[in-house]
Amino acid sequence: MDTDSSDEELVVRYVTQRDEPAFTELVTRYREPVFRLAVSVLGPGFVGEAEEVAQEVFLRVHASLKSFRREAKFSSWVYRIAFNQALNVKARVRYRAPHLSYQALPELVAPDSNPHDTVQDLGRNQALAECIAQLPEVYQSALRLHYWLGHTVTEIATLLGVPENTVKSYLHRARRLLQALLEQKGYSDDGTH
């Protein structure tokens, strides 16, 4: 595996010599961030769809590498395709209820949990999920990348293709909007009913 070459060198090698290992290396580098970006757009209930988005992104990249303009960074180009593709899929699955991940089941039926607290937590988390779904797409994505997937502001800036200050502003505005939406639902800003 060629881990030393830059993305742009790998692109040139693939386009000019049809070097398949160069493309494989690009997929290896970007499959995880592309998937995480997709899942941040789609939300926690749509992990399977996010994986499908990641597949589609690489099929599209493979088909249009020749038309890739090298003045843009390869990573920015890939992330833009991923974000748009995830938005397209989200528009299709919007009205479908998310399925519960099997990984989440043990958390719901933890034997030592108090049933009253569990129900209260579920209600609160559901209210939060509904409020997040009302935010602009880019705010939703920034929130999930930061608070769910644990990405730093710098990493989010790279994934969304915006400056770090813009990400900080997205997060700040998203929190303020969430606060207002939660208050409308009767929750205080720390999540208590």
Partner 1 sequence: MTEPTDPIEGFLRQSLATETAPTLSPNFQQQLGARLQPRRIRKKQRRFLLAYSAIGFLLSLGTLQLAGFSIGLTLLCVLAPLAIIIVALRPHFRSLL
The token duo for 18 is 């049809």
Residue 59 engages partner 1 in binding (rule: CB under 8 A): yes
Please say which residue, 71 or 117, places its beta carbon nearer to partner 1.
Answer: 117
For partner 1, which residue of 14, 30, 144, 157 counts as binding (CB under 8 A)?
A: 144
Residue 35 engages partner 1 in binding (rule: CB under 8 A): yes
For partner 1, which residue of 12, 93, 128, 138 counts as binding (CB under 8 A)?
A: 128
86 vs 98: CA distance, rounded Å: 15
CB 84, min distance to partner 1, A: 19
Is residue 174 within 8 Å of residue 166, measured between CB atoms? no
Element (H, E) at 169: helix 164-184
Q: What angle do CA 102, 156, 90 make, to 5 degrees?
A: 50
190 vs 178: CA distance, rounded Å: 11
DSSP helix, strand, coil percent of the chain (3-state; round to 5):
75, 0, 25
Element (H, E) at 175: helix 164-184
For partner 1, which residue of 9, 16, 32, 123 counts as binding (CB under 8 A)?
A: 32
Please choose, out of 8-16, 21-29, 70-78, 80-88, the segment that lies near partner 1 by the rule CB under 8 A: 21-29
For partner 1, which residue of 78, 81, 82, 178 counts as binding (CB under 8 A)?
A: 178
What residues make contact with partner 1 under the rule CB under 8 A? 24, 27-28, 31-32, 35-36, 39, 44, 47, 50-51, 54-55, 58-59, 62, 101, 103-104, 107, 121, 124-125, 128, 143-144, 147-150, 175, 178-179, 182, 188-191
